């Protein structure tokens, strides 16, 4: 929830709403520019085909997130 990734995203595809415990990257909007990866203090952003085995559950969370009820940007 640091929000550094939000600040560098050129297409505003990183979402959150009050009550969320993480930020969500909309896979339909992301242009795979990787600008967010080096600024993430948690090292939590990967290209989908490089997500570590123990973090695969987050792929579905990002696809299933209700982006329509959220706004681009961080609510920190």
Domains and CATH numbers, the chain: 4-72 (3.30.70.20)
Two structure tokens written together for 58: 């987050």
Q: What is the pTM of this model?
A: 0.90
Handedness of CA 63, 68, 70, 73 (dihedral sign): positive
pLDDT in tens, 8-62: 999 999 999 999 999 999 999 999 999 999 999 999 999 999 999 999 999 999 9
Give the H or E element holding residue 24.
Answer: strand 24-25
Higher pLDDT, 61 or 73: 61
State the pLDDT at residue 60: 96
Residue 15 CA to its chain's centroid (Å): 7
Would you state the pLDDT for residue 16? 94
């Amino acid at each position: 929830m640091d929000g550094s990734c939000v600040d560098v995203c050129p297409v505003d595809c990183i979402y959150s709403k009050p009550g969320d415990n993480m930020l969500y990257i909309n896979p339909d909007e992301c242009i795979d520019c990787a600008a967010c990866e080096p600024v993430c203090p948690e090292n939590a952003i990967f290209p989908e085909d490089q997500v570590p085995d123990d973090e695969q559950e987050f792929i579905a969370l990002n696809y299933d997130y209700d982006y329509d009820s959220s706004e681009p940007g961080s609510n920190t």
